[in-house]
Structure 1
Amino acid sequence: MNTLFPAASARLPATPDRATGSSCDTPALLIDFDTYDHLQALAHRCEHLPEVTAGLLQELDRAQLVAPDALPDDAVRVGSRVTYQDDASGAIRTVHLVWPQQADVSAMRISVLTPIGAALIGLRAGQRIRWRLGNDDRRLVVLGVAPD
């Protein structure tokens, strides 16, 4: 099964992070204003595919918006190369987060509209996130973020 493109995703209840008081399963997200506007418009154009856009809209609803020049270098944005580790399998993958028209799974260019793309956007190196893929609970940690 291709875990990068499951049919749908849904968030699980979060557990608080003892050190910060925030959730380690739904960590703080940073997204710049321009990307936020583009992603909102994209999601609304795809309203007829709620299984595709639900996870993205959920992430956008909780994002902290910043000016493009205030976005830290280690924040995942469209165009980032992201290395993450799947907690269950221990597998480490590097993907390039892209707009849907640039996606090519064989080249590890993953659309921001996929569940993994929506989970990664706005995260920073060291952050963990948990979500449900079908009947499976999944969790990953971002190991590194590099610009395109």
Structure 2
Amino acid sequence: MPESYAAYYEGYNNGKDQFGRNVANPAGIDLTPETAKKLGLAYLQNAWVIFTTDDFGGSNPEKLYKVIAGSFSDKQNALDREAYLESKGIECIIMQVTVSGKTYYRVQAGAYRERANAEARLQEVKDAGVTDAFIVYE
């Protein structure tokens, strides 16, 4: 059994990893800051990242097709959408972005190198009742 799994689910080492950090995700992996940035994560941010083997290729490794399941100026609205999707079994994260000087909280339900994978995920989100979902390529 992985140490992080035991810490998270069974309280091993008082729920902490070998560095004394609280385990927030029993299946988590550490990414380099450069890789995390490419996935749209802030420095040292913990978040769910969904990927497939198609995500390792592509003509532009800097850009991803991101499934946005809502974009809100009020963070609570984003938190509510995230909770709703997760209740439907769809993992997502909230990303803070600035567009034309205004802050938005995007509920991101996946990031993919291949558009077909993003479109499949978009359909899952729409099937869950989120009709305002869309894909951005950035």
Would you call these one fold, judging by a TM-score over 0.5?
A: no
Q: Which has the higher contact order (CA 8 A, sep 6+)?
A: 1
TM-score (norm 1): 0.28
TM-score (norm 2): 0.29
Larger helix fraction of residues: 2
Larger strand fraction of residues: 1
